[in-house]
Amino acid sequence: MKIGVVGLGYVGLVTSAVLAEHFNSVTGIDIDKNKIERLLEGYPPLYEHNLKEYLVRNKSRLTFSWDYNDLSGCDAVFVCTPTPTVNSRIDTKHVEGSCRAIAKVSPDSAIIIKSTVTPGTASKIRESTGLTVISNPEFTREGSAIMDTEKPDRIIIGGDKDDICETVWAFTGSPVLKTTNENAELIKYASNAFLATKISFINEIANLCETIPGADVEIVATGMGLDKRIAPYFLRAGIGYGGSCFPKDTQALLGFAEDKGVDLKIVRATIDVNNSRINHAIEMIKEDVEKMGIKKLCVLGLAFKNGTDDVRESRAIDLIKGLISSGIEVTYYDPVVTQDIRGAELSRSIGECVGSCDAIVIASEWNEFKELQNMNVTKPVFDLKRLLEMNYFKHYRGIGLWHE
Ligand code: UDX
Protein backbone atom coordinates (compact mmCIF):
# COMPACT_ATOMS: atom_id res chain seq x y z
CA MET A 1 0.00 0.00 0.00
CA LYS A 2 0.99 3.64 -0.29
CA ILE A 3 0.99 4.97 3.25
CA GLY A 4 1.58 8.47 4.59
CA VAL A 5 2.75 9.24 8.12
CA VAL A 6 2.46 12.77 9.48
CA GLY A 7 4.58 13.76 12.51
CA LEU A 8 7.94 12.03 12.75
CA GLY A 9 8.47 11.78 16.51
CA TYR A 10 8.85 8.41 18.24
CA VAL A 11 5.50 7.05 17.14
CA GLY A 12 5.59 8.39 13.58
CA LEU A 13 9.14 7.31 12.84
CA VAL A 14 8.73 3.84 14.29
CA THR A 15 5.41 3.41 12.43
CA SER A 16 7.10 4.52 9.18
CA ALA A 17 10.06 2.17 9.65
CA VAL A 18 7.92 -0.85 10.53
CA LEU A 19 5.40 -0.31 7.70
CA ALA A 20 8.27 0.02 5.19
CA GLU A 21 9.84 -3.16 6.59
CA HIS A 22 6.56 -4.91 5.78
CA PHE A 23 6.61 -3.85 2.13
CA ASN A 24 4.51 -0.69 2.14
CA SER A 25 5.67 2.40 0.32
CA VAL A 26 5.84 5.08 3.05
CA THR A 27 6.01 8.87 2.87
CA GLY A 28 6.86 10.51 6.19
CA ILE A 29 5.98 14.19 6.64
CA ASP A 30 7.19 16.60 9.30
CA ILE A 31 7.20 20.41 9.36
CA ASP A 32 10.71 20.39 10.89
CA LYS A 33 12.96 20.78 7.82
CA ASN A 34 16.06 20.13 9.87
CA LYS A 35 14.69 16.74 10.95
CA ILE A 36 13.77 15.85 7.36
CA GLU A 37 17.23 16.80 6.10
CA ARG A 38 18.87 14.60 8.72
CA LEU A 39 16.53 11.72 7.93
CA LEU A 40 17.29 12.04 4.22
CA GLU A 41 20.99 11.83 5.11
CA GLY A 42 20.23 8.61 7.02
CA TYR A 43 20.35 9.91 10.62
CA PRO A 44 17.32 9.28 12.87
CA PRO A 45 16.74 12.31 15.12
CA LEU A 46 16.31 10.09 18.20
CA TYR A 47 17.75 6.96 19.76
CA GLU A 48 15.52 3.90 19.58
CA HIS A 49 16.71 0.30 19.55
CA ASN A 50 16.96 -0.98 15.92
CA LEU A 51 15.39 2.15 14.39
CA LYS A 52 18.46 3.16 12.39
CA GLU A 53 18.85 -0.36 11.00
CA TYR A 54 15.19 -0.43 9.92
CA LEU A 55 15.43 2.99 8.26
CA VAL A 56 18.59 2.05 6.38
CA ARG A 57 17.39 -1.40 5.35
CA ASN A 58 14.10 -0.08 3.93
CA LYS A 59 15.27 3.18 2.42
CA SER A 60 14.03 2.21 -1.06
CA ARG A 61 10.46 2.17 0.31
CA LEU A 62 10.77 5.24 2.54
CA THR A 63 10.69 8.90 1.61
CA PHE A 64 10.68 11.92 3.91
CA SER A 65 9.43 15.39 3.13
CA TRP A 66 8.12 18.61 4.69
CA ASP A 67 5.66 19.08 1.82
CA TYR A 68 2.14 17.71 2.43
CA ASN A 69 1.61 17.57 -1.37
CA ASP A 70 3.79 14.44 -1.34
CA LEU A 71 0.92 12.62 0.39
CA SER A 72 -1.26 12.80 -2.67
CA GLY A 73 -2.49 9.36 -3.74
CA CYS A 74 -1.90 7.67 -0.37
CA ASP A 75 -4.35 4.89 0.57
CA ALA A 76 -4.13 5.90 4.23
CA VAL A 77 -2.32 8.55 6.24
CA PHE A 78 -1.35 7.96 9.89
CA VAL A 79 -1.50 11.06 12.07
CA CYS A 80 1.19 10.97 14.76
CA THR A 81 1.47 14.66 15.67
CA PRO A 82 1.79 15.68 19.35
CA THR A 83 -1.12 16.33 21.71
CA PRO A 84 0.41 18.31 24.58
CA THR A 85 -1.54 18.66 27.83
CA VAL A 86 -1.98 22.30 28.82
CA ASN A 87 -3.75 23.06 32.14
CA SER A 88 -4.91 19.42 32.33
CA ARG A 89 -6.59 19.62 28.91
CA ILE A 90 -5.19 18.26 25.66
CA ASP A 91 -4.42 20.63 22.86
CA THR A 92 -5.43 19.02 19.55
CA LYS A 93 -4.33 21.86 17.28
CA HIS A 94 -1.47 19.86 15.72
CA VAL A 95 -3.69 16.85 15.03
CA GLU A 96 -6.52 18.96 13.64
CA GLY A 97 -4.11 21.03 11.53
CA SER A 98 -2.52 17.87 10.07
CA CYS A 99 -5.94 16.42 9.21
CA ARG A 100 -7.03 19.62 7.44
CA ALA A 101 -3.80 19.59 5.42
CA ILE A 102 -4.28 15.91 4.50
CA ALA A 103 -7.87 16.55 3.41
CA LYS A 104 -6.63 19.27 1.02
CA VAL A 105 -3.91 17.26 -0.71
CA SER A 106 -5.28 13.72 -0.54
CA PRO A 107 -9.08 13.79 -0.19
CA ASP A 108 -9.43 10.07 -0.99
CA SER A 109 -7.10 8.89 1.80
CA ALA A 110 -8.37 7.42 5.02
CA ILE A 111 -7.01 9.26 8.07
CA ILE A 112 -5.78 6.97 10.84
CA ILE A 113 -5.20 8.78 14.12
CA LYS A 114 -2.39 7.30 16.22
CA SER A 115 -1.92 10.40 18.38
CA THR A 116 -3.45 10.13 21.85
CA VAL A 117 -6.66 12.17 21.76
CA THR A 118 -9.64 12.43 24.08
CA PRO A 119 -12.96 10.78 23.08
CA GLY A 120 -14.85 12.77 20.48
CA THR A 121 -11.79 14.12 18.66
CA ALA A 122 -11.92 11.71 15.69
CA SER A 123 -15.66 12.28 15.17
CA LYS A 124 -15.12 16.04 15.22
CA ILE A 125 -12.39 15.71 12.58
CA ARG A 126 -14.62 13.47 10.45
CA GLU A 127 -17.33 16.14 10.51
CA SER A 128 -14.96 18.96 9.62
CA THR A 129 -12.99 17.20 6.85
CA GLY A 130 -15.60 14.79 5.46
CA LEU A 131 -12.90 12.08 5.32
CA THR A 132 -12.88 8.55 6.72
CA VAL A 133 -11.32 8.93 10.19
CA ILE A 134 -10.12 5.82 12.02
CA SER A 135 -8.76 5.72 15.58
CA ASN A 136 -5.81 3.37 16.04
CA PRO A 137 -4.04 4.25 19.30
CA GLU A 138 -0.48 3.10 19.89
CA PHE A 139 0.72 1.27 22.99
CA THR A 140 4.43 1.19 22.25
CA ARG A 141 7.09 1.64 24.89
CA GLU A 142 10.21 3.61 24.12
CA GLY A 143 13.18 1.29 24.01
CA SER A 144 11.11 -1.56 22.56
CA ALA A 145 8.95 0.48 20.19
CA ILE A 146 9.83 -1.50 17.04
CA MET A 147 9.08 -4.82 18.71
CA ASP A 148 5.85 -3.45 20.25
CA THR A 149 4.72 -2.19 16.83
CA GLU A 150 5.52 -5.43 15.03
CA LYS A 151 4.01 -7.69 17.68
CA PRO A 152 1.53 -5.70 19.78
CA ASP A 153 -0.62 -7.44 22.42
CA ARG A 154 -3.67 -6.08 20.61
CA ILE A 155 -4.71 -3.75 17.84
CA ILE A 156 -7.52 -1.35 18.63
CA ILE A 157 -9.39 0.04 15.64
CA GLY A 158 -12.19 2.57 16.05
CA GLY A 159 -14.56 3.94 13.42
CA ASP A 160 -16.41 2.90 10.29
CA LYS A 161 -14.67 1.71 7.12
CA ASP A 162 -11.96 0.34 9.36
CA ASP A 163 -10.89 -2.51 7.03
CA ILE A 164 -7.96 -0.59 5.59
CA CYS A 165 -6.41 -0.27 9.06
CA GLU A 166 -6.90 -3.96 9.74
CA THR A 167 -5.24 -4.78 6.41
CA VAL A 168 -2.24 -2.55 7.16
CA TRP A 169 -1.56 -4.36 10.45
CA ALA A 170 -2.49 -7.88 9.28
CA PHE A 171 1.21 -8.92 9.26
CA THR A 172 1.35 -8.61 13.06
CA GLY A 173 -1.08 -11.49 13.59
CA SER A 174 -2.21 -9.74 16.79
CA PRO A 175 -5.79 -9.84 18.08
CA VAL A 176 -7.92 -6.99 16.74
CA LEU A 177 -10.70 -5.19 18.61
CA LYS A 178 -12.96 -3.18 16.32
CA THR A 179 -15.14 -0.60 17.98
CA THR A 180 -16.27 3.03 17.88
CA ASN A 181 -13.81 5.91 17.63
CA GLU A 182 -14.79 7.00 21.14
CA ASN A 183 -14.12 3.60 22.72
CA ALA A 184 -10.78 3.35 20.92
CA GLU A 185 -9.78 6.81 22.13
CA LEU A 186 -10.76 5.99 25.71
CA ILE A 187 -9.04 2.57 25.68
CA LYS A 188 -5.72 4.37 25.21
CA TYR A 189 -6.25 6.74 28.14
CA ALA A 190 -7.72 4.09 30.43
CA SER A 191 -4.80 1.73 29.69
CA ASN A 192 -2.14 4.30 30.44
CA ALA A 193 -3.95 5.52 33.56
CA PHE A 194 -4.31 1.94 34.80
CA LEU A 195 -0.59 1.20 34.31
CA ALA A 196 0.30 4.47 36.05
CA THR A 197 -2.02 3.45 38.90
CA LYS A 198 -0.21 0.14 39.30
CA ILE A 199 3.07 2.05 39.63
CA SER A 200 1.70 4.52 42.20
CA PHE A 201 0.07 1.68 44.12
CA ILE A 202 3.32 -0.24 44.49
CA ASN A 203 5.13 2.99 45.37
CA GLU A 204 2.73 3.49 48.29
CA ILE A 205 3.31 -0.10 49.39
CA ALA A 206 7.05 0.69 49.14
CA ASN A 207 6.57 3.57 51.60
CA LEU A 208 4.87 1.16 53.98
CA CYS A 209 7.61 -1.48 53.59
CA GLU A 210 10.23 1.08 54.58
CA THR A 211 8.59 1.28 58.04
CA ILE A 212 8.30 -2.48 58.70
CA PRO A 213 11.37 -4.37 59.95
CA GLY A 214 12.06 -7.24 57.53
CA ALA A 215 9.86 -5.93 54.74
CA ASP A 216 10.95 -5.50 51.13
CA VAL A 217 8.67 -4.22 48.36
CA GLU A 218 10.54 -6.27 45.72
CA ILE A 219 9.47 -9.50 47.40
CA VAL A 220 5.96 -8.20 48.05
CA ALA A 221 5.59 -7.25 44.35
CA THR A 222 6.96 -10.64 43.22
CA GLY A 223 4.46 -12.41 45.46
CA MET A 224 1.59 -10.26 44.19
CA GLY A 225 2.60 -10.71 40.55
CA LEU A 226 2.42 -14.50 40.77
CA ASP A 227 -1.35 -14.10 40.92
CA LYS A 228 -2.41 -14.21 37.25
CA ARG A 229 -5.13 -11.66 37.94
CA ILE A 230 -2.55 -9.14 39.10
CA ALA A 231 0.41 -10.03 36.79
CA PRO A 232 3.98 -9.01 37.56
CA TYR A 233 4.21 -6.01 35.20
CA PHE A 234 4.38 -2.36 36.24
CA LEU A 235 4.88 -3.28 39.87
CA ARG A 236 8.43 -1.97 40.18
CA ALA A 237 8.72 0.59 42.93
CA GLY A 238 10.93 3.58 42.29
CA ILE A 239 10.92 7.34 41.91
CA GLY A 240 7.66 7.40 40.00
CA TYR A 241 6.71 7.33 36.36
CA GLY A 242 8.05 9.91 33.90
CA GLY A 243 8.25 10.14 30.13
CA SER A 244 6.15 11.66 27.41
CA CYS A 245 2.97 9.66 28.07
CA PHE A 246 1.95 8.76 31.62
CA PRO A 247 2.29 12.21 33.25
CA LYS A 248 0.55 13.97 30.35
CA ASP A 249 -2.13 11.32 29.78
CA THR A 250 -3.18 10.96 33.42
CA GLN A 251 -3.56 14.75 33.68
CA ALA A 252 -5.50 14.92 30.41
CA LEU A 253 -7.85 12.11 31.44
CA LEU A 254 -8.53 13.79 34.77
CA GLY A 255 -9.25 17.14 33.08
CA PHE A 256 -11.41 15.55 30.39
CA ALA A 257 -13.49 13.70 33.03
CA GLU A 258 -13.78 16.85 35.12
CA ASP A 259 -15.30 18.65 32.12
CA LYS A 260 -17.84 15.81 31.93
CA GLY A 261 -18.64 16.24 35.62
CA VAL A 262 -16.87 13.03 36.67
CA ASP A 263 -14.23 13.02 39.41
CA LEU A 264 -11.69 10.25 38.73
CA LYS A 265 -10.51 9.88 42.32
CA ILE A 266 -8.10 7.03 41.66
CA VAL A 267 -6.39 8.82 38.78
CA ARG A 268 -6.10 11.94 40.96
CA ALA A 269 -4.49 9.90 43.76
CA THR A 270 -2.15 8.23 41.25
CA ILE A 271 -0.89 11.63 40.13
CA ASP A 272 -0.53 12.87 43.75
CA VAL A 273 1.48 9.80 44.77
CA ASN A 274 3.70 10.18 41.71
CA ASN A 275 4.31 13.85 42.46
CA SER A 276 5.49 12.96 45.98
CA ARG A 277 8.14 10.41 44.91
CA ILE A 278 11.06 12.78 44.36
CA ASN A 279 10.68 14.45 47.76
CA HIS A 280 10.39 11.05 49.37
CA ALA A 281 13.66 9.91 47.73
CA ILE A 282 15.46 13.14 48.64
CA GLU A 283 14.36 12.86 52.28
CA MET A 284 15.62 9.27 52.36
CA ILE A 285 19.00 10.31 50.95
CA LYS A 286 19.27 13.37 53.20
CA GLU A 287 18.92 11.26 56.36
CA ASP A 288 22.16 9.45 55.49
CA VAL A 289 23.89 12.44 53.93
CA GLU A 290 23.73 14.16 57.31
CA LYS A 291 24.62 11.04 59.30
CA MET A 292 27.56 10.05 57.08
CA GLY A 293 28.87 13.47 56.13
CA ILE A 294 28.28 12.89 52.39
CA LYS A 295 29.02 16.00 50.32
CA LYS A 296 28.89 14.83 46.73
CA LEU A 297 26.56 12.30 45.10
CA CYS A 298 26.93 10.50 41.79
CA VAL A 299 23.55 10.02 40.10
CA LEU A 300 23.44 7.24 37.50
CA GLY A 301 20.74 7.61 34.82
CA LEU A 302 19.29 10.78 33.33
CA ALA A 303 16.74 9.74 30.69
CA PHE A 304 13.21 9.05 31.95
CA LYS A 305 14.04 5.33 31.87
CA ASN A 306 16.71 2.99 30.53
CA GLY A 307 16.93 2.15 26.82
CA THR A 308 16.13 5.67 25.60
CA ASP A 309 17.72 9.11 25.31
CA ASP A 310 14.39 10.79 26.02
CA VAL A 311 14.52 13.17 28.99
CA ARG A 312 10.91 14.37 28.81
CA GLU A 313 9.45 14.42 32.34
CA SER A 314 12.57 12.64 33.57
CA ARG A 315 12.30 11.93 37.29
CA ALA A 316 16.11 11.69 37.45
CA ILE A 317 16.44 15.32 36.37
CA ASP A 318 13.88 16.39 39.00
CA LEU A 319 15.86 14.39 41.54
CA ILE A 320 19.17 16.03 40.61
CA LYS A 321 17.63 19.51 40.77
CA GLY A 322 16.09 18.69 44.18
CA LEU A 323 19.40 17.40 45.53
CA ILE A 324 21.19 20.55 44.37
CA SER A 325 18.53 22.74 46.05
CA SER A 326 19.15 20.77 49.25
CA GLY A 327 22.79 21.87 49.11
CA ILE A 328 24.22 18.54 47.91
CA GLU A 329 26.81 18.49 45.12
CA VAL A 330 25.94 16.22 42.20
CA THR A 331 27.81 14.58 39.36
CA TYR A 332 25.82 12.42 36.93
CA TYR A 333 26.21 9.93 34.12
CA ASP A 334 23.87 8.37 31.55
CA PRO A 335 24.93 5.87 28.85
CA VAL A 336 23.22 7.87 26.07
CA VAL A 337 22.32 11.34 27.38
CA THR A 338 24.93 14.08 27.74
CA GLN A 339 22.64 16.99 28.55
CA ASP A 340 23.94 19.75 30.83
CA ILE A 341 22.14 20.46 34.08
CA ARG A 342 22.87 23.78 35.70
CA GLY A 343 24.68 23.36 39.00
CA ALA A 344 25.61 19.69 38.41
CA GLU A 345 28.62 18.11 36.76
CA LEU A 346 28.39 15.71 33.80
CA SER A 347 30.63 12.62 33.97
CA ARG A 348 31.71 10.74 30.83
CA SER A 349 31.75 7.25 32.35
CA ILE A 350 30.50 5.29 35.35
CA GLY A 351 34.08 5.06 36.60
CA GLU A 352 34.58 8.83 36.47
CA CYS A 353 31.19 9.45 38.10
CA VAL A 354 31.66 6.93 40.91
CA GLY A 355 35.30 7.91 41.44
CA SER A 356 34.53 11.55 42.12
CA CYS A 357 31.75 11.19 44.71
CA ASP A 358 31.06 10.13 48.30
CA ALA A 359 27.93 8.08 47.53
CA ILE A 360 26.05 6.62 44.55
CA VAL A 361 22.40 7.03 43.53
CA ILE A 362 20.75 4.70 40.99
CA ALA A 363 18.06 6.66 39.11
CA SER A 364 17.37 4.37 36.15
CA GLU A 365 17.68 0.71 35.24
CA TRP A 366 20.50 0.49 32.67
CA ASN A 367 22.09 -2.96 32.84
CA GLU A 368 25.47 -1.26 32.57
CA PHE A 369 25.04 0.07 36.13
CA LYS A 370 25.13 -3.51 37.42
CA GLU A 371 28.90 -3.34 36.80
CA LEU A 372 29.00 -1.68 40.22
CA GLN A 373 28.47 -5.15 41.69
CA ASN A 374 31.91 -6.17 40.42
CA MET A 375 33.73 -2.98 41.35
CA ASN A 376 34.19 -3.58 45.10
CA VAL A 377 32.32 -0.40 45.85
CA THR A 378 32.64 0.66 49.48
CA LYS A 379 30.78 3.96 49.07
CA PRO A 380 27.13 4.08 50.18
CA VAL A 381 24.59 3.19 47.49
CA PHE A 382 21.04 4.56 47.29
CA ASP A 383 19.17 2.30 44.90
CA LEU A 384 16.05 4.22 43.89
CA LYS A 385 15.11 1.70 41.18
CA ARG A 386 16.00 -1.53 43.02
CA LEU A 387 18.40 -2.51 40.26
CA LEU A 388 21.27 -3.93 42.30
CA GLU A 389 21.78 -6.96 44.54
CA MET A 390 22.22 -5.47 47.99
CA ASN A 391 24.68 -8.18 49.12
CA TYR A 392 27.46 -6.66 47.00
CA PHE A 393 27.50 -3.45 49.01
CA LYS A 394 28.52 -2.53 52.52
CA HIS A 395 26.06 0.32 52.84
CA TYR A 396 22.95 -0.19 50.71
CA ARG A 397 19.62 1.62 50.93
CA GLY A 398 16.82 0.77 48.57
CA ILE A 399 13.39 2.20 47.87
CA GLY A 400 10.80 0.05 49.61
CA LEU A 401 13.33 -1.68 51.83
CA TRP A 402 13.23 -1.47 55.59
CA HIS A 403 16.25 0.33 56.97
CA GLU A 404 17.32 0.76 60.61
C1 UDX B 1 4.22 4.19 28.02
C2 UDX B 1 3.24 2.99 27.85
O3 UDX B 1 3.82 1.80 28.38
C4 UDX B 1 2.89 2.82 26.39
O5 UDX B 1 1.91 1.81 26.26
C6 UDX B 1 2.34 4.14 25.85
O7 UDX B 1 1.98 4.06 24.52
C8 UDX B 1 3.37 5.24 26.04
O9 UDX B 1 3.68 5.34 27.43
P10 UDX B 1 6.84 4.63 27.83
O11 UDX B 1 6.51 6.06 28.18
O12 UDX B 1 7.81 4.35 26.75
O13 UDX B 1 5.49 3.85 27.45
O14 UDX B 1 7.43 3.99 29.17
P15 UDX B 1 7.09 2.79 30.18
O16 UDX B 1 8.04 1.69 29.97
O17 UDX B 1 5.66 2.46 30.18
O18 UDX B 1 7.48 3.48 31.58
C19 UDX B 1 6.87 4.72 31.98
C20 UDX B 1 7.47 5.20 33.28
O21 UDX B 1 7.07 4.37 34.35
C22 UDX B 1 9.00 5.21 33.31
O23 UDX B 1 9.43 6.37 33.98
C24 UDX B 1 9.34 3.95 34.09
O25 UDX B 1 10.60 4.02 34.74
C26 UDX B 1 8.19 3.91 35.10
N27 UDX B 1 7.90 2.57 35.61
C28 UDX B 1 7.48 1.59 34.75
C29 UDX B 1 8.01 2.30 36.97
O30 UDX B 1 8.37 3.18 37.76
N31 UDX B 1 7.69 1.05 37.42
C32 UDX B 1 7.27 0.07 36.59
O33 UDX B 1 6.99 -1.04 37.09
C34 UDX B 1 7.16 0.34 35.21
Residue to mutate, 141, 153, 334, ligand 1, most ligand atoms under 8 Å from C-beta: 141
Q: Ligand 1 pocket: which of 113, 187, 194, 199 to mutate (most atoms <8 Å of CB)?
A: 199
**Residue with CA closest to ligand 1 atom 28:** 234
- 140 CA → ligand 1 middle, Å: 10
Report how far ligand 1's centroid is from the alpha carbon of 64 (Å).
29
pLDDT of residue 303: 95
Say yes or no: CB of residue 366 within 6 Å of ligand 1: no
User: Which residue minimizes the CA distance to atom 8 of ligand 1?
Assistant: 245
Q: Is the CB of 384 under 6 A from ligand 1?
A: no
pLDDT digits over 36-53, tens only? 999 999 899 998 999 999
Nearest Cα neighbor of 79 from 127, 120, 40, 134 is 134
Full DSSP string of 191-218: HHHHHHHHHHHHHHHHHHHTTSTT-BHH
CA distance 177 to 166: 10
- pLDDT for 317 equals 98
Q: Which amino acid, residue 170? A: A
Pocket flag, ligand 1, residue 246 (CB < 6 Å): yes
Atom of ligand 1 nearest to the CA of 145: 12
Asked whether the beta carbons of 306 and 337 are under 8 A apart, the reply is no
For position 162, what pLDDT does the model report? 73
Ligand 1 centroid distance, CA of 316 (Å): 14
Cα–Cα distance for residue pair 108/259, rounded to 1 Å: 35
pLDDT the model gives residue 89: 94
17 lines ligand 1 (CB under 6 A): no
Is 245 designated active site? yes
Task: Give the span between the Cα atoms of 297 and 399, in whole angstroms.
Answer: 17
Our answer on whether the CB atom of 243 is closer than 6 Å to any ligand 1 atom is yes
User: What pLDDT is stored for residue 290 in this prediction?
Assistant: 86
**Spatial separation of the C-alpha atoms in residues 195 and 168, rounded to whole Å:** 27
Tell me what pLDDT residue 288 has. 93
Q: pLDDT value at position 160?
A: 80
Say what the pLDDT of residue 304 is.
96
Among candidate residues 245, 298, 353, 357, the one labeled active-site is 245
Q: Which residues are CB-contacts of 217 (< 8 A; sequence separation ≥ 6)?
A: 202, 205, 206, 209, 237, 386, 399, 400, 401
In this prediction, the residues of the chain whose per-residue pLDDT falls under 50 are: none
